[in-house]
């Protein structure tokens, strides 16, 4: 034991500082990892990270098992198993009305996060300006940094997080290479309206700008129908639509995503994808075919179940004393934490975990200027009803308003 202790002391004394490329220096351990680690340490109920605590449908899992038994366990074709490419194209046609070539316009990736990375690295050059809507999923800024992009933020503000159209019009110029958007929107739950999408489309056509549209929550739209911006006139030719299996089928660990784009944009996406992961899990792709062929009744039931979960959480958070902002889509809801007297969102979330036993995510990490998010935190309702009610009960008992 003495030898081990001495070795540990030597290791601590000689430990070298961590090394990271300058383009990633500003990015720390993701907030999701930090909060999940604290949750485990303090036995907190995790309403932070957006993964369900219930399993996906049996018919999809059984398809994966069968694919493994059938020997579909070697590298898949780089841009996707043919049957999955066709299933993605068929689903996209049903949802958006657009007919795409599964061989030339669909690329299967390791989750939507890789679709985002392949799109940025394959289509953005160093110095290109890309507009993002803050708050945004944290991988956007990191991936754009890896691509060397100049990131310009347009802030969506409560209560409705609507797009400030005049500000956007002033920001989009001939120097803008792309707009990166997400609808339904993480973390706010906002859905882009037809008017907002038509304005974005008009600006993009006028200034020859690309759109990268993250639509992973398209099946979780509650108050209005989801609209893919690629379906608007003149937009398919300049849009990369990104999506995944994980959110809709509660299989986030499978990491099956895709990018749909016209051939001239797909080329860049596939070039980057080839050198990021090359191919995605073969048996999981085979199972994804079964998932995407699910009857409409599956998607209706999914939306109904999540709507019930949302009502439990929103009602509970309101009763606790939060100011709760509307969530029209996704499985997230954003609240104003300031009635409880903590100085900012990070301090509040740390207090919530340690003293109350519930995890939320501070939203300041989703802004270019963290100050803009210091009053807001995000909760997720992709948990079973017992977990949601348990978290609400803990907050009712231990969280007291101070103002």
Q: How many Å apart are CA 329 and CA 302, to the nearest integer?
A: 12
Kindly tell me the burial class for residue 390, based on how many C-beta atoms sit within 10 Å of its own C-beta (0-12, 13-18, 19 or more).
middle
Name the least confident of 35-49, 135-149, 360-374. 35-49
Sequence-distant (6+) residues with CB within 8 A of 62 are none
- Give me the pLDDT at residue 43, please: 94
DSSP structure string for 221-286: B-SS----GGGSTTTGGGEEEEEESHHHHT-GGG--EEEE--HHHHHHHHHHHHHHTSS--HHHHH
Q: How many Å apart are CA 213 and CA 398, to the nearest integer?
A: 40
Paired with 125 in beta bridges are: none
pLDDT for 184-242, tens place per residue? 999 999 999 999 999 999 999 999 999 999 999 999 999 999 999 999 999 999 999 99
- Give me the pLDDT at residue 38, please: 86
pLDDT for 379-401, tens place per residue? 999 999 999 999 999 999 999 88
pLDDT for 337-373, tens place per residue? 999 999 999 999 999 999 999 999 999 999 999 999 9
Rounded to two decimals, what is the model's pTM? 0.94
Q: How many Å apart are CA 344 and CA 331, to the nearest integer?
A: 23
Q: How many Å apart are CA 101 and CA 160, to the nearest integer?
A: 37
Name the least confident of 34-38, 155-159, 305-309. 34-38
Q: Which domains does the chain have, with CATH numbers?
A: 24-56+297-398 (3.90.1150.10), 58-293 (3.40.640.10)
pLDDT for 106-140, tens place per residue? 999 999 999 999 999 999 999 999 999 999 998 99
- Give me the pLDDT at residue 127, please: 97
- Give me the pLDDT at residue 5, please: 47
Q: What is the mean pLDDT of the chain?
A: 95
Contact present, 361 and 35 (Cβ < 8 Å): yes
Model confidence at 98, in pLDDT bands (50, 70, 90)?
Answer: very high
Sequence-distant (6+) residues with CB within 8 A of 72 are 282, 283, 286
- Give me the pLDDT at residue 1, please: 43
| Pair of tokens at residue 228 | 């893919």
Cα 348 to Cα 37, 358, 377, distances in angstroms: 16, 11, 8
Of the candidates 181, 224, 244, 174, the one whose C-alpha atom is nearest the C-alpha of residue 204 is 174
């Amino acid at each position: 034991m003495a030898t081990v202790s001495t070795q540990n002391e030597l290791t601590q004394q000689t430990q070298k500082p961590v090394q990271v490329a300058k383009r990633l220096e500003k990015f720390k351990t993701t907030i999701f990892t930090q909060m999940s680690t604290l949750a485990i340490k303090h036995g907190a109920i995790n309403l932070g990270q957006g993964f369900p605590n219930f399993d996906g449908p049996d018919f999809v899992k059984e398809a994966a098992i069968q694919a493994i038994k059938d020997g579909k366990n070697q590298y898949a074709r780089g841009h996707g198993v043919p049957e999955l490419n066709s299933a993605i194209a068929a689903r996209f046609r049903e949802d958006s009305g657009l007919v795409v070539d599964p061989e030339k316009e669909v690329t299967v990736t390791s989750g939507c996060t890789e679709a985002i990375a392949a799109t940025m690295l394959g289509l953005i050059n160093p110095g290109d300006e890309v507009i993002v809507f803050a708050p945004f999923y944290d991988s956007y800024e990191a991936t754009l940094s890896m691509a060397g992009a100049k990131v310009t933020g347009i802030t969506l503000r409560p209560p409705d997080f609507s797009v400030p159209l005049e500000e956007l019009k002033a920001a989009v110029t001939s120097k803008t290479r792309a707009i990166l958007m997400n609808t339904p929107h993480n973390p706010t739950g906002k859905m882009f309206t037809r008017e907002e999408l038509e304005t974005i489309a008009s600006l993009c056509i006028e200034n020859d700008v690309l759109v990268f549209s993250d639509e992973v929550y398209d099946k979780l739209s509650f108050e209005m129908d989801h609209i893919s911006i690629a379906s608007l006139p003149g937009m398919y030719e300049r849009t990369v639509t990104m999506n995944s299996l994980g959110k809709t089928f509660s299989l986030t660990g499978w990491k099956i995503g895709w990018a749909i784009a016209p051939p001239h944009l797909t080329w860049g996406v596939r070039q980057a994808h080839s050198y990021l992961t090359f191919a995605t899990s073969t048996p999981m792709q085979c199972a994804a075919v079964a998932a995407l062929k699910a009857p409409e009744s599956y998607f209706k039931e999914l939306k109904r179940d999540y709507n019930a979960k949302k009502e439990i959480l929103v009602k509970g958070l309101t009763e606790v004393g939060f100011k709760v902002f509307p969530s029209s889509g996704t499985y997230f809801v954003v609240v104003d934490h300031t009635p409880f007297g903590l100085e900012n969102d990070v301090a509040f979330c740390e207090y919530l975990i340690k003293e109350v036993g519930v995890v939320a995510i501070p939203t300041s990490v989703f802004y270019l200027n963290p100050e803009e998010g210091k009053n807001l935190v995000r909760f997720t309702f992709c948990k079973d009803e017992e977990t949601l009610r348990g978290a609400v009960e803990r907050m009712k008992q231990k969280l007291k308003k101070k103002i």
